[in-house]
Amino acid sequence: MMRITLFALIAALLASGQQAPEVAVTGSARFGATTQLVVEDVIVRGKDGQPVRDLKASDFVITEDGKPQKITIFEFQKLEEQGTAAAPPIAQPTRLEADKPAVPSVTGNAIAPEQPGDLRYRNRRLLVLFFDMTSMPIADQIRAQEGALQFLRKQMTPSDLVAIMTFSSDIRVVEDFTDDRDRLERDIKKLTIGEGQGLEETVSDDSAADTGAAFQQDDTEFNIFNTDRQLAALQNAVKMLGTLNEKKALVYFSSGITRNGLDNQAQLEATVNAAIRSNVSFYPIDARGLVAQAPLGDATKGSPGGQGMYSGSSARSAQSNFQGQQETLYTLAADTGGKALLDNNDLSMGIVQAQKDIASYYVIGYYSTNEALDGHFRRIKISLSDSVRSRVAKLDYRQGYFAGKQFKKFNDSDKENQLAQALALGDPLTEMNLAMEVDYFRLARDRYFVPLAVKIPGTEIELARHGGAESTRLDFIGQVRDAKGTVAANVRDNIEVKLKGETAQQLAKTTLAYDTGFTLAPGAYNVKFLARENQSGKMGTFETKFVVPDLTTEQKYLPISSVVLSNQREKLTAAVASAERDKKLLSEHPLIQDGSKLVPSVTRVFRKDQNMYVFLEAYEPSADAAQPVIARVSFYRGKAKAFETEPLQVSEGLNSKTKALPLRFSVPLEKLQPGRYTCQVSVVEPTAQKFAFWRAGIVVLPVQEQAAPVVEKREN
């Protein structure tokens, strides 16, 4: 989807020779138009089988549902055909993270999406190595690993970008697209051989092994779900790849997929359709290689029992099962324009086949004349002009696409995919305003509790109320990455917000707060958090860096936690939205006391008629009993001290587990004039002759009527 401002629209009309419409502008009205960019990757082969490289945009004719379309994007992607083992790696493209689509949580990596019309991987060939660990026994996993390593070392070309995915209990993106051979080789070597075992297909026909076990029920029905899981994993993978405009090849390492009659047909068709929509071709590789089957099975399983051993029925059933598994791989390849590598011990040849098939191609884009966002399928036909048609033997392109949808027409899968892709985008989304605060509190020597508090202006939700809805849902998704870019923690959550009654009256003049928390080791981190309101579809992103210090090693100064400033204490039962809570986690939350939670003032804006609550922890790692600590809170306006609290002495309350001594203040702000101040918290431990202080800016506002309901959430 692309939004065009009024001025850009008029400029485009003038450039095309059309007359701009007359527009009457009154007040601060805003005009816009929506249109859909369609990108096609077209491989043009001559009669000699080689790509035709000298065509122009005027040589192509495109129709959508029979209606001519005007080409606005035209580029030729020139790809290297020959592999070289010694080719130096090219500078690695930007690597971003995303949640896997249509699943409840975020994975460690994801495929970084592109903006409409953007070609991030220009003149590059995109190959995905997908290892289905659930279908391959250990020997086949080793064989697949060796085949992938051989390709990286000897057959990868300078044009190739390779991504790595695995499927065991869930999809995992091990590596986004990169041409760094050393990184890819390390990733392949790190694959856990033996992962995903126990989900292999079982048979109950004459070829089944006689294990001598007691009778048990037929488990064929469970194979149906196993097969659907394998196909659904491929479907989710191609949906991730669908955010890229270039042509993609997914190389699928597997030991075959067993279909159970027509029971898996729906999922198979859904997977193939998703691949076609995403411009992805499957290149399945049978990791078993060339198989020579003994009539009664090999030494890896027990011999079948019963009459089938003597009538030949066991051998026929085993052969039929084997052919059925390969037939599914062949179907995936044939229906998506790829090729299957079957009965070949050189598994790297399957990757080379995908490499050769993605020859140099044209990227052609147009803005559809059909502006309806109805999600319907649109059929595309691409042909060549008479002047060049005689030189061309074959055109390879996507035959159609599904139109975009308005947010109100999204299903659950669409919404989940949108969140995952939005989180992975490099550009932040600013439709919804967010503010966030990240703190840290010591739990053990090498573990810290990191609460994350987010505030959203109630006016953002007010718009949903004006739409007539009685409630709305706020979706949250976020990730915490360490200094190496590895995902250390993630969150995927949602809450319901009521839009009627007293709550609705308060929305326009208050903020909504959400909080969660993580357990992290000391180090430097980056957190990215995204919120979406589910009536209007508005989204907002907040991203920041933070450091969790190693307070255990602090020798010179008194180690203290983050300092939390607040103007609210909320009962856990009082919230605008309700959400399930983990009572054990809530009991360990440092900001919860006596059934009430201290809500951080993320923006640090207070009023004169409020009390400012200050909370922090001082740590005495080697103490068995609390050592007295003296603390005070001061307010400075410029260099002049405006106000200071009386000293607070705390000599008891040491937590035997965390070695934390809590310090709590309640500071009335009535003595401060409205304006900006620097708040300083000073802490001294006289016995050890150590001290610490903390500073932050705050704003004090005049007295005014305000209500502040809060949305709360449990810790993860």
**Where in the chain are the domains?**
1-26, 36-79+359-405, 127-201+220-357, 412-701
Predicted local distance difference test score (pLDDT) of residue 66: 92
Please indicate whether residue 221 or residue 377 has the higher confidence score (pLDDT): 377
- Kind and range of the H or E element at 149? helix 138-150
Helix axes 181-189, 138-150, angle to 10 degrees: 170
Residue 584 clears pLDDT 50, i.e. is over it = yes
Statement: residue 440 has pLDDT above 90: yes
If one compares 211 and 380, the residue with the highest pLDDT of the two is: 380
Q: With a cut of 50, say whether residue 547 has pLDDT above it.
A: yes
Query: Does residue 395 surpass a pLDDT of 70?
Result: yes
Residues in contact with 7: Cβ distance below 8 Å, sequence separation at least 6, in sequence order: none
Mean of the pLDDT values across residues 197-215?
Answer: 50
From 79-88, 177-186, 508-517, the region with the lowest mean pLDDT = 79-88
Q: Which of 254-258, 294-298, 346-350, 613-617 has the lowest mean pLDDT?
A: 294-298
Res. 125: pLDDT tops 80: yes
Instruction: Give the model's pLDDT for residue 401.
Output: 75
Please report, for the chain, how many H helices and E strands are present, in that order: 13, 34
Instruction: Label residue 95 by pLDDT band (50, 70, 90).
Output: very low
CA 596/CA 321 separation, integer angstroms: 62
Architecture of domain 36-79+359-405: Sandwich (2.60)
**Band of residue 200 on the pLDDT scale cut at 50, 70, 90:** low
pLDDT for the residue 617: 94
Given a cut of 60, is residue 201 above it in pLDDT? Answer: no
Predicted confidence (pLDDT) at residue 376 exceeds the cutoff of 80: no
Predicted local confidence at residue 495, as pLDDT? 83
Q: How confident is the model at residue 524 (pLDDT cuts 50, 70, 90)?
A: very high
Weakest mean pLDDT among 62-76, 87-101, 198-212, 248-262? 87-101
Kindly state the percentage of the chain with pLDDT values over 90.
27
Phi/psi at 267 (nearest 5 deg)? -70, -35
User: What is the rounded CA–CA span in Å between residue 689 and residue 702?
Assistant: 40
pLDDT interval class at 394 (50, 70, 90): confident
Is residue 147 predicted with pLDDT exceeding 60?
yes
Predicted local distance difference test score (pLDDT) of residue 35: 64
Label residue 546 by pLDDT band (50, 70, 90): very high
If pLDDT is split at 50, 70 and 90, which confidence band does 225 have? low
Q: Which amino acid is at 643?
A: F
Residue pair 627/683 in contact by the 8 Å Cβ criterion: no
Q: What is the pLDDT of residue 220?
A: 41
- Class of the CATH domain delimited by 412-701: mainly beta
Note the pLDDT of residue 640: 92
Q: Give phi and psi for 654, each to the nearest 5.
A: -65, 125
Q: So what's the pLDDT on residue 105? A: 35
Whole-number pLDDT of residue 6: 35
The answer, yes or no, to whether residue 514 has pLDDT greater than 70, is yes
CATH 1.10.10.350 fits 127-201+220-357, yes or no: no
* Local confidence band at 223 (pLDDT 50, 70, 90 cut-offs): very low
Tokens of 503: 């709550």
Kindly tell me if the per-residue pLDDT of 7 is higher than 50. Answer: no
Q: pLDDT band at residue 275, thresholds of 50, 70 and 90?
A: confident
Other CB atoms within a 10 A radius of the CB of residue 142 amount to: 15
For 441-470, the pLDDT digits (tens) are 998 888 999 999 888 887 767 555 555 666
Between the CA of residue 348 and those of 140, 156, 179, 251, 435, what are the distances in Å? 13, 10, 17, 10, 50
Whole-angstrom CA distances from 390 to 56, 111, 386, 414 are 15, 40, 7, 43
Domains 36-79+359-405 and 127-201+220-357 share a fold: no
Residues in CB range of 226: below 8 A, 6 or more apart: 134, 199, 201
Q: Is the pLDDT of residue 171 over 70?
A: yes
pLDDT, position 30: 43
CA dist., res. 322 & res. 635, Å (int): 78
Query: In sequence order, which residues have a C-beta less than 8 Å from that of residue 321 and are 6 or more positions away?
Result: 203, 205, 207, 258
pLDDT confidence of residue 28: 44
Q: Name which residue leads in pLDDT, 278 or 220.
A: 278
What single-letter DSSP state applies at residue 258?
Answer: -
Strands (E), 6-141: 32-35, 37-46, 60-64, 67-69, 71-77, 125-132
Predicted confidence at residue 441, as pLDDT, reads 94
Give the per-residue pLDDT at 301.
64
Lowest model confidence (mean pLDDT) among 24-28, 323-327, 422-426, 677-681: 24-28
Q: Are 114 and 215 in contact (CB under 8 A)?
A: no
Using the predicted structure, report yes or no on whether residue 393 has a pLDDT greater than 50.
Answer: yes
pTM above 0.85, yes or no: no
Answer whether residue 199 shows pLDDT above 60: no
The larger pLDDT score, comparing residue 13 to residue 251, is at 251
- pLDDT confidence of residue 204: 47
Mean pLDDT of the chain: 78
pLDDT at 646 over 90: yes
